[in-house]
Amino acid sequence: MSHSPKDAGRLSHAELLQLKRWNTPTLYNGWEQITRHDISREGFNLEPLTDFMPEMGPMVGYAVTLIIEPSNPAHRRHATAWSDYRRYVANVPGPKIVVVCDLDKPRVVGSFWGEVCSNQHRALGCVGTITDGAIRDLDEMRNAGFKALARRLCVGHAYVTPVRWGCPVEVFGQKVLPGQLIHADQHGFLAVPPEDEAGLLEAARFMDANECSTVIAAARSAAGLSTEELLRRLDDAAAAFAAATRERFGTRGEW
């Protein structure tokens, strides 16, 4: 399956590197100002997950998608599944994040990921994975420079093989489409709707600067102030934050 029709309008590599400098909550703060989606239930994981490589920082890339069912040996009858799946991954422009839906969840029994798969996918231009199944070979995955957000660790791979790929998947309560821009870190992931991608970086920059010059600055310059003066400054800062956000986006921001 080819990448989405939006390929020509994707962010540049330089812009993706800038997105990687921010944590995922900061990207969310910008995204909520520009999106028409429900900011309480769309775009981000609704269920808990674990970042097993938080020291690697955020990862940014475009989704390649996969469905697995490690408990079912019947899938291994498809002799060319692995080769066909790898060809799909190879034909998608990078950087890429592999989003894996494990049909065995929540009782996952085997891992798609380990030392071999992480090194292969790194060679194919993938920077990491989000899987609602398990991972294994944790140290070896780190050594490959392959970041993983997952449900848990496990020992074996069971009957794992690619089942379907290049299709919409749902992981941790959120639907992800092939080719969708993803930003992820120890807090979770944000799957950016295509129409919001172009404005995301600018919005995140603005909201971060807005916080630093108003509400955070007021809170960090409280030494020697009376309680009443501090409360007044915090109220004034919140009003200034909201005014700047309203002027830029026509919204009120977080408060």
pLDDT digit string, tens, across residues 82-106: 999 999 999 999 999 999 999 999 9
Residue 219 confidence (pLDDT) above 50: yes
Domain containing 240 equals 214-249
Do 34 and 140 lie in one domain? The reply is yes
Question: Within a domain: residue 209?
Answer: no
For residues 178 and 83, membership in a common domain is answered with yes
CA dist., res. 80 & res. 248, Å (int): 52
Q: So what's the pLDDT on residue 7?
A: 55
pLDDT tens for 134-186 read: 999 999 999 999 999 999 999 999 999 999 999 999 999 999 999 999 999 99
Determine which of 2-16, 25-39, 152-166, 171-185 has the lowest per-residue pLDDT on average: 2-16
pLDDT at 5: 39
**205 falls within a domain:** no
222 and 137 in a common domain: no
Domain assignment present for residue 204? The answer is: no
Assess if residue 95 is contained within a domain: yes
Whether residue 124 sits in one domain with residue 229: no
Q: Please check whether residues 106 and 157 belong to one and the same domain.
A: yes
What is the greatest pairwise CA distance in the chain?
A: 74
pLDDT tens for residues 177-199?
A: 999 999 999 999 999 999 999 99
- Do 165 and 65 contact (CB within 8 A), yes or no? yes
Residue 206 domain flag: no
Q: Are residues 15 and 115 in the same domain?
A: yes
Q: Is residue 201 part of a domain?
A: no
pLDDT, position 10:
80
Query: Rounded to whole angstroms, how far apart are CA atoms 216 and 138?
Result: 37
Residues 169 and 227 in one domain: no
Q: Is 254 part of any domain?
A: no
- Strand-pairing partners, residue 153, are 135
Residue 203 lies in a domain: no
Q: Where are the beta strands (DSSP E) in 35-146?
A: 50-51, 59-68, 96-102, 111-113, 126-131, 134-135
Tell me: do 186 and 223 sit in the same domain.
no
Provide the number of structural domains found in the chain.
2
CB count in 10 Å sphere of residue 210 = 21
